[in-house]
Structures are given as C-alpha cells and as structure tokens.
C-alpha cells in the first residue's frame, strides 16, 4: 500500500532570506517531499501556511496517512481551527512528524500538553547524532552515529513528556546534549519528533537525515482504519446498559442529552 504523506511548510524563511532560498529554491517542504517520493512506497505532496486553510482541509487530512510539519517564524499565524483539525486527525490514526523548531508548533504543543521549551544557540556548530535504539525501524540503515557539520544547537532540558522511545541523542561542539529523536502515541496516532533541520544549513540534503525521514514516515503510518467520532462522549441511556439496572437518585441530564464540555 502506498503511504500518503503531506509535508507542511511554513514557507516564510524561503521567501525572506536569501541563504535559505539558495539552499531550498523550491522550499524546504518541496525538498523533503522530493526525498519521500524517491523512497518508494510513499507519495508525498506539500501544503504551506499561505494556502487556503493552510492546505489542510478536513477532506485532505482524511486522505492523509502521515503529516510532516516544519514551522518556526509564524507559529502564531496558524489557525486554531486547523490545529484542532490536525490534532483530531492524529487522535483518529494519522501519523505526525514534527521537525526541528516545530517543537513550538501549535499542533505539537497541543498534543504534548507541556511547554516544549529548550536551550539553543545559532553558531553553525557540529552535531553528532547517536542512535540509541539500534533495532528501531526509524534507525534502519543508519550507522551507529552520523554528523552534521553545521547545525543550530538545541540543549536539555527539553520540556516534553517522557517519550515512548528515544531513538537519537545529539552532542554538539559546544558540549550540550539533546534528545533528538522521540516517539509518542496520542490516541491512535504515532508521533515522531526529529530535531535537525535549521533553515540556514543544508540539513535536508543530507543522506542520513533523508533516511530518517523516510523511515519515520513508514513507522508513523497506521494502516488500520481511522477511528470515527474520536471526540464523541455519548450519554448512554439507562435502558441500553449491558446489564439491567434501575435508575437511582437525581440526574442533571436526560437520556441522550449532550454533557458539559
């Protein structure tokens, strides 16, 4: 089965910064999508902040297996309605991959329920990523460690919930370390956070990074049928209880009436 992916890009730096535009003339989102499309088994399209509904209509999300998200300068410009739509799609079974500074993206914050804060430094220093889970599908085909000659530093503490698995840990030239590849499950959706990807460096042209992205899409894909009505909270009538019961005491709601939210 072909995995249907959307690469969502903020598409701001590419329009305003010559360095970024030269590295990614068609946008980081298109570079990532091209990588996925070369991998086999994955069909990737793109969406951007500037598209109507940010390119993420309910109909399109319903037909998406994995959503990759890159944001940085315009997190606040993302529609809250679209954020809720994305989160509900993840709860129902869509995979979600948060890239680099998307630790502050609205959908990721919403699903983590924490500050997602960290320390950082923009100095183009070397990053060495160590594989901490050799048999994890996201690490397939990678050496025990690989290096990116220039990257932005992210340092601990990283204000996220304890992950299901830590796949990568990074060391930076300045001495900091960071959990750079973390997996989560929210509802029926698989989530992966992957740290590298600062816009002024050619990170998404790196072969090892591209391997991680392709592996991550395959891992995040949930082939099961989407859960319908994932936010429903039905009021079960007394006469529909699995075992016969007699109603006792007073009540606030009548059978079938919506509860408070």
Residue 243 in any domain: the answer is no
pLDDT by residue (tens digit) across 112-146? Answer: 999 999 999 999 999 999 999 999 999 999 999 99
Residue 236 in any domain: the answer is no
Q: Which domain holds residue 195?
A: 3-220
Beta bridge partners of 181: 168, 194
Residue 175 in any domain: the answer is yes
Residue 254 in any domain: the answer is no
DSSP string, 76-97: GGS-HHHHHHHHHHHHHT-EEE
Per-residue pLDDT, averaged over 214-232, amounts to 97
Domain total of the chain: 1
Residue 240 in any domain: the answer is no
- pLDDT of res. 1: 79
- Which of 1, 65, 44, 74 lies closest to 210, judged by CA? 44
User: The domain spanning residue 176 has which CATH number?
Assistant: 3.40.50.880
Residue 65 in any domain: the answer is yes
**Residue 183 parent element (H or E):** strand 177-186
DSSP string, 6-59: EEEE--SHHHH-HHHHHH-TT-HHHHHHHHHHHSSSEEEEEEETTSGGGG--HH
How sure is the predictor about 261, in pLDDT bands with cuts at 50, 70 and 90? confident
Residue 225 in any domain: the answer is no
Per-residue pLDDT, averaged over 149-162, amounts to 98
How sure is the predictor about 256, in pLDDT bands with cuts at 50, 70 and 90? confident
CB 196 within 8 A of CB 148: yes
pLDDT by residue (tens digit) across 184-195? Answer: 999 999 999 999
CB 58 within 8 A of CB 226: no
């Amino acid at each position: 089965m072909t995995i249907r992916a959307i690469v969502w890009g903020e598409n701001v730096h590419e329009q305003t910064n010559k360095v970024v535009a030269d590295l990614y003339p068609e946008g980081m989102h298109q570079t990532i999508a091209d990588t996925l499309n070369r991998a086999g088994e994955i069909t990737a399209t793109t969406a951007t902040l500037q598209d109507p509904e940010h390119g993420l209509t309910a109909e399109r999300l319903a037909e998406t297996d994995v959503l990759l998200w890159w944001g940085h300068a315009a997190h606040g410009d993302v529609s809250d309605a679209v954020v809720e739509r994305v989160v509900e799609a993840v709860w129902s079974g869509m995979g979600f991959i948060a890239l680099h500074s998307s630790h502050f993206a609205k959908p990721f914050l919403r699903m983590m329920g924490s500050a997602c804060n960290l320390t950082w430094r923009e100095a183009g220093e070397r990053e060495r990523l160590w594989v901490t889970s050799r048999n994890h599908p996201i690490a397939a085909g990678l050496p025990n460690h690989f290096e990116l000659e220039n990257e932005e530093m992210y340092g601990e503490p990283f204000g996220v919930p304890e992950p299901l698995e830590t796949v990568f840990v990074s060391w930076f030239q300045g001495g900091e370390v960071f959990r750079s590849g973390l997996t989560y499950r929210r509802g029926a959706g698989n989530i992966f956070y992957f740290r590298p990807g600062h816009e002024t460096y050619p990170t998404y042209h790196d072969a090892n990074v591209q391997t991680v992205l392709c592996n991550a899409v395959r891992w995040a894909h949930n082939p099961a049928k989407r859960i319908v009505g994932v936010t429903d909270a039905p009021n079960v009538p007394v006469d529909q209880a699995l075992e016969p019961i007699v109603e006792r005491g007073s009540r606030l709601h009548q059978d079938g009436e919506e509860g408070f939210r």
